[in-house]
Amino acid sequence: MTTATLPYRVTPARVLRSEWHKLWTLRSTWINLAVTSLLTAAMGAGLGAAYDGSGEGGMDPVMFALLGTQFATINLGVLGILATAGEYSTGQIRATMTAVPRRLPVLWSKAAVLAGVILPLTLATNLLTFPLAQSFLNGTDLSASLGDPGVLRALAGNAAGLTLLAVLALGIGALLRSVPTAIGAFIGLVMILPEILAMLPYAFVDDAVRYFPGKALEALTTAQPQPGAASPGASLLAMLLWTATILTVAATVLRRKDV
């Protein structure tokens, strides 16, 4: 008498474990995350050491220390895109969707794993970079401490914003299914389009631009609200809506389009 083999059950925990394994077994993941943290910390220390205390720029102390965020935005965006579009370029997506025929759990698991990695990493990097930069800025107009109003909120806000941008990039990768095209779309949306729109002579366009992902991230990275910028709460909400919208569109396409 033979015993029937029980069918393999696809559970959320197993899909999450699979996506965690795929992310961490890629050498590019380790390199990307290490370079992101090192560049952010190195730029913070370098700018702090080079600052002459003139105070001409009127820069926010948190924004000044985290100017490396510009590189982190691109690096983490590429990581998010590789997590989805990278599978289409290698053809691995067919095996993934065969193992998980419902498809959508794959997208949600990829987003959850990516966010779970990037949020603590960027927060830890920020908490290291700010005091490091401040060690050179003591006695200048940019001198500040972690206990000053808005500082911890800005450090955490920057980490949350970078995490949402990475997940947004993941959604773009799932939507466009091409690494080069998705990277171009991500950079265009975050860095280029807002600058082009800001040149238009319309007040309503200026109001809208401040809620684009890149501008919202800037607002989240300042300890004190800047003139013409959205509030931290509104900026975080805007980034959540951008990310949720892109993921929803990607999920719709994933369900209706063949891999």
CA distance linking residue 218 with residue 211, whole number of Å: 10
94, 177 contact by CB (below 8 A): no
**Which pLDDT belongs to residue 96?**
85
Q: Provide Rg for the chain, Cα atoms.
A: 20
The low-confidence residues of the chain, meaning pLDDT below 70, are 1-8, 54-57, 259
User: 220-248 as b/e, with b when 16 or more CB fall inside 10 Å?
Assistant: bbbbeeeeebbebeebbebbeebbeebbe
**Which pLDDT belongs to residue 3?**
47
Q: Is the dihedral of CA 21, 23, 28, 33 positive or negative?
A: negative
Torsion region of 150: left, alpha or beta (phi above 0 gives left; psi -120 to 50 gives alpha): left
**Which pLDDT belongs to residue 11?**
84
- Residue owning tokens 């699979």: 18
**Which pLDDT belongs to residue 138?**
87
CA distance linking residue 46 with residue 42, whole number of Å: 6
CA distance linking residue 208 with residue 101, whole number of Å: 39
Phi, psi of 199 (to 5 degrees): -80, -10
Q: Where are the domains of the chain?
A: 12-50+58-256
**Which pLDDT belongs to residue 8?**
63
137, 84 contact by CB (below 8 A): no
**Which pLDDT belongs to residue 56?**
56
CA distance linking residue 209 with residue 35, whole number of Å: 30
> What pLDDT digit, counting tens, does each position of 136-159 carry?
998 888 999 999 999 999 999 999
CA distance linking residue 210 with residue 199, whole number of Å: 13
